[in-house]
Amino acid sequence: MERSVTHVALFAALVAVLGLVPQIALPGGVPVTAQSLGIMLCGTVLGARRGALAVGLFLLLVALGLPILTGGRGGLGVFAGPSVGFLLGFPVAAFVAGLVTERAALPIGWAAAAGAFLGGIVVLYVLGAAGWALMLGKSMAEVQVFLLGFLPGDLIKVALAGLITRSVARMRPGSLLSRPA
Amino acid sequence: MLTLTSPVETWLHRCPAGVKLAALAAVTVGLISMEGLVGPSLALVAVGALYLSCGLLRYGLRSLLPLWPFLLVLAVWHGWTGTLAEGGTVALRLITAVAAANLVTMTTRLTDMVTVLERLAGPLRHLGLPPRTLALALALVIRFIPVLSDRISTLRFAWAARSARRAGWAILVPTTLAALDDADRVAEALRARGGAG
């Protein structure tokens, strides 16, 4: 019980910190903020249920008024804005990423990358585009072109989620809650 | 830790948080059902007047800045298709809803928000989430954001001492491990003090 609560809380803090820290250079030198990578890691490291709870807890603190979204944003306003679909999609993305990591009959690195792709790109993009469409009065087909700009960076994060989860599995096999040793 | 609440106390700070949140919900639902340009414009003027009465207009405008890419897309789109009036309705509704929500955040202290949340979360106890556990989790996150932030700075300094290039993604591995290890230690400490339930 205690272990569940502290893991959920610490990973919510990790997602927040990854949005605050100065940008991290990706392979190739492109700087990005790593918040969406943190969302994927919640799922791939903590598993579906705890991962979704961690991201949900993070969103709760955003709503309460902490400026912990990338770019120092936060408060209730971000939930009234056009990107609400992405925000509400975050816990779903973490859940799907965790579910695939738990269930896929693949080596841990590949399973985590597959989960991060399905959750952090496929599911998140559908929900994010639905939010844009709803808030801007457009159809899904009309807004999806804007997603393409995010795709290259997110694909790199999917690969990183796989690599980092594999490293965690090697160094702390007992702590990888998505695949208990 | 810093929050988005305005440190300058206004009359809205003294309004009960529950009342402000209920009013915000009503305004947001009302905005969704508004058509044409008159209704949303009046709503925007009303929200602007609330900002003025609190002396927060400048901060309010600054907090709307993240919306500009979306407004630009709307302007180009509706200019192109010749439906500017429709685009104006969408834009006005969006600006008003976000501005109203920001105002509640700016004038409500974190402690007041948490109090409302605890009351709202009461019924969740029947689903296996006692309000005490939720409050503990919230406090843990707030406490550990600066701790993890320091940890990343330390790793970054260690990196800078050894490499001419800027810190790469590799420091995210020890960062993730640090979160996992801290979680285990805090869990032990909680158990030693009577548990989280």
Taking the CB of residue A77, how many other CB atoms lie within 10 A of it? 26
pLDDT at B148 > cutoff 70: yes
**Contact yes or no for A90/A33 (Cβ under 8 A):** no
A145 backbone dihedrals φ, ψ, rounded to 5°:
-60, -30
For chain B, domain boundaries? 11-118, 130-192
Cβ–Cβ of B180/A10 closer than 8 Å? yes
Q: Closest chain A residue to B189 measured between Cα atoms? A: A2
pLDDT in tens, A98-113: 999 999 889 999 999 9
Q: Which of B6, B71, B145 to mutate to test the interface with A (most CBs of A within 10 A)?
A: B145
Write out the two tokens for B100.
């109203």
Positions in chain A short of pLDDT 50: none
User: Closest partner residue to A1 among B89, B108, B195, by Cβ?
Assistant: B195
Partner-chain contact A14 B148, CB within 8 Å? yes
CB A157 within 8 A of CB A112: no
pLDDT at B74 over 80: yes
Please, what is the angle between helix B131-162 and helix B172-192, to 10°? 140
Cβ distance B142 to A73 less than 8 Å, yes or no, reads no
Specify the amino acid at residue B121.
A
pLDDT digits (tens, 9 = 90+) for B158-189: 988 998 877 778 888 999 999 999 999 999 99
Residue contact A164–B138, C-beta within 8 A: no
Q: Return the domain boundaries, chain A.
A: 2-175
Mean pLDDT score of chain A, rounded to an integer? 88
B137·A12 Cβ contact <8 A: yes
Q: What is the ipTM of this complex?
A: 0.89
Query: CB-based contacts of A179: which residues, under 8 Å, 6+ apart?
Result: A47, A101, A102, A108, A169
Report pLDDT for A130: 93
State how beta strands A24-25 and A31-32 pair: antiparallel
CA distance B4 to chain A (A): 6
| B6 touching chain A per CB within 8 A | no
Using alpha carbons, select from A20, A33, A9 the residue that is nearest to residue A66.
A20
Give the dihedral sign, CA A139/A142/A144/A150: negative
Res A30: pLDDT: 52
pLDDT, residue A142, reads: 81
How many H-runs (helices) and E-runs (strands) does chain A carry?
A: 9, 2
B189 vs B197: CA distance, rounded Å: 14
Look up the CATH architecture of domain A2-175: Orthogonal Bundle (1.10)
The percent of residues in chain B predicted with pLDDT above 70, rounded, is: 98
pLDDT for A10: 95
- Closest residue of chain A to B115, computed from CA coordinates: A64
> For helices B110-121 and A48-64, what crossing angle results, to 10°?
130
